[in-house]
Amino acid sequence: MKLYAQNWEKAHYTCYNYETIRDKAPFCLSAFFKIKKDRKFLNLVKAITFDFWQTIYIDNQELNIKRDELRALKIWKYLTGIGHNNLRLEAVEQSVQIANDFGLSLWYKGVVISIDNCVSEMGGFLGIPFNDAETHTITEIMGLATLETAPPLAPFIEIQLPELAKKYRLGIVSDTGLTSAKFLRCLLLRDNIISYFTALGFSDELGYSKPNPTIFQLTLQQLGAVSSESVHIGDLIQTDIYGAKRAGMRTIQYTNELGEKYTGKFKAENQSLLPDAVINNFCDIQLVINDW
């Protein structure tokens, strides 16, 4: 097996064999795209941003299914309680799937997902034109269902965030779907990690979605950092790596099993960019930065 490393400035590749990496840095094998050290970049990194889903929190299909079942049940109870007595639970379940599919279709195009528009799609399927109050209630049900089926934190991130926050300004750059930023903040608060982040850049609040570089730039403005001194960590090449590179940031891909789910769903030109480093363990973040 060969491991490849990219020199940040000259953009040429150095090939390291497995034995060399094993002997010199056995603790860093998970960072298999290893950056060749350059004195000009030592201690240059001042800010780190993270993706939310599949990076800070690791969701899974079982939780997704439970979440949508809970959403459908609570929305059905709400709607039958306000006079839609003939509404079937199965129809509401279908409408939740329609909302999911509609949101994903926007996300794949790099368009901000409006949860209100997703709820409107549900209403169109059910034949119910929701008013503003009803739309608000349904969006609240959507978010509360996420809190009740909350995904776990990524391994070791609870340990690493306090240490990283001592050295760097930390932020989040994340797209939102049927769960608005309001409820994602609740998750961060529940797990006692929100205090480590100086800036929270969510697509439904900033009005931009990854891979648009603007969502990264606006978050960096909140952090008081420039892109050349910043690193973004996320799981998806097509949104996290592509978008952060367009913003002028360095990038670390955090790999996990669900990352393959969305491969091929995005525009073709987003597929081929390599991250500057790849890790599967948050304990390797500082090791990677030290090698820049």
How far apart are alpha carbons 289 and 161 in whole angstroms?
15
Can you give the pLDDT at residue 241? 96
pLDDT digits (tens, 9 = 90+) for 97-116: 999 999 999 999 999 999 99
Q: How many CB atoms lie within 10 A of CB 227?
A: 19
**pLDDT > 90? residue 221:** yes
Mean pLDDT calculated for residue range 30-51: 65
pLDDT digits (tens, 9 = 90+) for 89-99: 999 999 999 99
CB 52 within 8 A of CB 179: no
What are the residues facing 174 on neighbouring strands? 202
Domain ranges of the chain: 37-58+153-290, 61-148
Can you give the pLDDT at residue 176? 97
Q: Which residue has the higher pLDDT, 125 or 22?
A: 125
Which one-letter amino acid corresponds to residue 226? V
* pLDDT-derived band at 9, boundaries 50, 70, 90: very low
* pLDDT-derived band at 262, boundaries 50, 70, 90: low
CATH homologous superfamily, domain 37-58+153-290: HAD superfamily/HAD-like (3.40.50.1000)
Which burial class, exposed, middle or buried, applies to 198 when counting CB atoms under 10 A from its CB (0-12, 13-18, 19+)? middle
The DSSP 8-state label assigned to residue 195 in this structure reads G
Calculate the alpha carbon distances from 2 to 16, 255, 256 in Å: 6, 18, 21
CA contacts within 13 A on the Cβ side of 263: 12
Cis peptide, bond prior to residue 129, ω within 30 of zero: no
pLDDT digits (tens, 9 = 90+) for 122-169: 999 999 999 999 999 999 999 999 999 999 999 999 999 999 999 999
Describe the chain by its helix, strand, coil percentages, rounded to 5: 50, 15, 35
